[in-house]
Amino acid sequence: MQPTNTRPDRPSAMKRFGPLVAILVAVVLILVVVVVAGGGKEDNSKDKATGENATTEELVRSGPMTTEKAKLLNQEVDFGDKCDEETGLYAIPYTYSSLCVEPFTGNNGGATAPGVTAKEVKVIVYVGDPRKNPLQAATVRSAGADVDVATAKETMTGYAQLFSAYYETYGRTVNVEYFNGTGAPDDPITAKADAIAIAEQKPFAVISGPPQTNAFSEEITARGILCLGDCALAKPEKFTTDHAPLVWATGPIPEQASLLTAEMVGNMLAGKKAEFAGDPKMQSQIRKFGAVHYNTPAGDHTAAFGALADALAKNGAKLVAEQEFFLDLSRSQEIARTVIAKMKTAGVTTIIFYGDPIMPGALSREATAQDYFPEWVLGPNVLADIALFGRTYDQKQWAHAFGVALTPARTNQSASQTYNLYKWFHGQAPPNNTYGVLIPGIGNLFHGINMAGPKLTANSFRDGMFRSPSSGGTPLSPAVSRGHHGIWPGTDWGGSDDTGLLWWNPNAVGEDEVGNVGKGLYEYVLGGQRYEYGKVPSSDPGFFDAKSSITIYEEIPPEYAPPSYPSPAKN
């Protein structure tokens, strides 16, 4: 670990109330999705107190009695012994704890949506089968992640038990069932068949899905089912808005991540020399930008990448070359050979990467094979910005990697909120070491139900998410909001709202995100300070400056820590 000399101040805009979100934005193969088979897309947008166009205050007033509503109405309300009335949140040691709701009595409306009765909310968790794509599973497993299906289910169930014990579900029990996927993560035929099979069971919610095709999400949302986590993973803005209010991203939608990336590149890199390149000759050259970007055979990310290219150009970083790729590990080196040759021929000094956490391994190895040592800039990505995968890349190349940190700054496992939350409630560690990516879907589901009120539908779930105040905003907890909180133009359908800045140190030693001690870690600029869109620094604040960066928080600084509460665990 290389400690920073100073810790960044807590952002003044950080609020204590807020929705649940992922601490990690999610591994492509194992991220979770909340799919909520709500009551379709009934139109109540004309009601000024509810709907997509309602203000946050109108939504708060129209919703269940929360601690925020009580304050707004200046009312004294007994929220029960599970509420920390000082913070207004449920008394669990988690930054993203939900707002307290007045304990419910009375008529909850009964069967308000498919999968919802007066006594039950039915939820199905989609579980991918590692045997359907053994090469991807082996790659993830070799990085140190646990791909065991049984322990993943056990961990998910454990978090569901925690949230069930604290959050308001309005007289209903949230019953979580599991569905074993039948196909590979990129197979649209089996994905559609699985979605149909799940929908026929009439759940209110499904968590997870095959992440490399839109076929699952299309079929689920066509049947009035809300879609979060992997089901909503990296879905472009048009898909999200066309299927509103059914698609709920955990992290930023690709266009939001693109705006953050383009602002960083334009402010810090455009028009300047490629000083961080591995090739000394490039270091004296004005940067020429190229982009390598993920897509699917159906072209699901074509428009999203176009948004990134346009935003880069507007920020003075027009691309001189770009190349898409499909995530096909059996052909990854062949694909990488073509990609790298194109970047090298075009004289690209600075490659901007948009994509998954696995492909950079092949790309970086091929760049070394072709004796090509550019700068590598992490742009919109899914977990390419965590050490678990960074260690699998060619270290000669990745020593020149830097960019946006959509995930939070690192902690040791013993300081991880998601790890300690499970242990606090159950008295033992999570059974699966990917707990950080298993909690978001189930957490968002319970948070949405808690904030929706007793008449649970797709639209009341939306209103619950939108009425939730912004939360997080520290190096260890990304800012999160949805709806209309003045951070993004228009309606915000994404999850997290900000980014940190990072760079790769191949010599740093410490734990990765699943507790494996090894060599190579990301360094977080200015201790992981995070920036919302429009507030990214106008100049480089410290890439490759070890003195002002940090690799790991071995302990959570008090100003970033959630409140402490007595453990309910019996052992």
What's 321-370 look like in SS3?
EEEEECCCHHHHHHHHHHHHHHHHHCCCCEEEEEECCCHHHHHHHHHHHC
Rounded Cα–Cα distance for residues 457 and 453 (Å) = 10
493, part of any domain: no
Q: Show Cβ contacts of residue 69 under 8 Å, excluding neighbours closer than 6 positions.
A: 60, 61, 63
Angle at 533 between CA 53 and CA 379, to 5 degrees: 115
Q: Please state the domain count of the chain.
A: 2
Same domain (yes/no): 421, 407: no
Q: Running DSSP on this structure, what letter comes out for residue 94?
A: -
User: Nearest Cα to 161, choosing from 446, 450, 457, 444?
Assistant: 446
Same domain (yes/no): 369, 382: yes
Beta bridge partners of residue 291, listed in sequence order: 322, 352
Same domain (yes/no): 244, 280: no
Instruction: Evaluate whether 481 touches 471 at the Cβ level (below 8 Å).
Output: yes
Same domain (yes/no): 117, 137: yes
3-state secondary structure of 523: strand
Same domain (yes/no): 423, 403: no
407, part of any domain: yes
User: Nearest Cα to 514, choosing from 380, 423, 418, 399?
Assistant: 418
User: Nearest Cα to 284, choosing from 297, 293, 275?
Assistant: 275
481, part of any domain: no
CA 122 to chain centroid, in Å, comes to: 24
Same domain (yes/no): 361, 398: yes
332, part of any domain: yes
How buried is residue 169: exposed, middle or buried, by Cβ count under 10 Å (0-12/13-18/19+)? buried
3-state secondary structure of 231: helix
Rounded Cα–Cα distance for residues 530 and 479 (Å) = 8
489, part of any domain: no
In which residue are the tokens 């497993």 written? 141
Q: Dihedral sign, CA of 84, 117, 462, 302?
A: positive
Rounded Cα–Cα distance for residues 228 and 219 (Å) = 14
- pLDDT given at position 40: 34
3-state secondary structure of 309: helix
Residues of the chain short of pLDDT 50, as ranges, are 1-48, 134-136, 138
In which residue are the tokens 């791909």 written? 147
Same domain (yes/no): 345, 235: no
Rounded Cα–Cα distance for residues 20 and 8 (Å) = 24
- Strand (E) or helix (H) holding 517: strand 517-525
- pLDDT given at position 145: 66
User: Nearest Cα to 356, choosing from 11, 27, 20?
Assistant: 27
Which residue range is the domain that position 54 belongs to?
A: 35-252+417-467
Mind listing the pLDDT tens digit for each residue in 234-292? 788 888 999 999 888 888 889 999 999 999 999 999 999 999 999 999 999 999 999 99
Same domain (yes/no): 246, 266: no
Same domain (yes/no): 123, 195: yes
Omega of the bond prior to 557 within 30 degrees of 0, cis?
A: no
In order of 136, 148, 410, the CA distances from 423 in angstroms are 30, 20, 19
Bridge-based pairing of strands 35-36 and 247-248 is unpaired
478, part of any domain: no
In order of 3, 41, 254, 524, the CA distances from 209 in angstroms are 39, 21, 19, 32
- Beta-carbon count within 10 A of 131 CB: 9
CATH number for the domain spanning 461: value is 3.40.50.2300
Same domain (yes/no): 508, 445: no
Instruction: Evaluate whether 177 touches 96 at the Cβ level (below 8 Å).
Output: no
- pLDDT given at position 143: 54
- pLDDT given at position 208: 86
3-state secondary structure of 553: strand
Per-residue tokens: 530 = 């995070």
- pLDDT given at position 140: 52
Q: Show Cβ contacts of residue 142 under 8 Å, excluding neighbours closer than 6 positions.
A: 392
Per-residue tokens: 223 = 């049947």
- Beta-carbon count within 10 A of 81 CB: 8
Per-residue tokens: 287 = 């940067």
133, part of any domain: yes
Instruction: Evaluate whether 368 touches 394 at the Cβ level (below 8 Å).
Output: yes
3-state secondary structure of 62: helix
340, part of any domain: yes
Rounded Cα–Cα distance for residues 363 and 352 (Å) = 12
- Beta-carbon count within 10 A of 382 CB: 28
Same domain (yes/no): 300, 193: no
Same domain (yes/no): 383, 330: yes
| Amino acid in position 328 | D
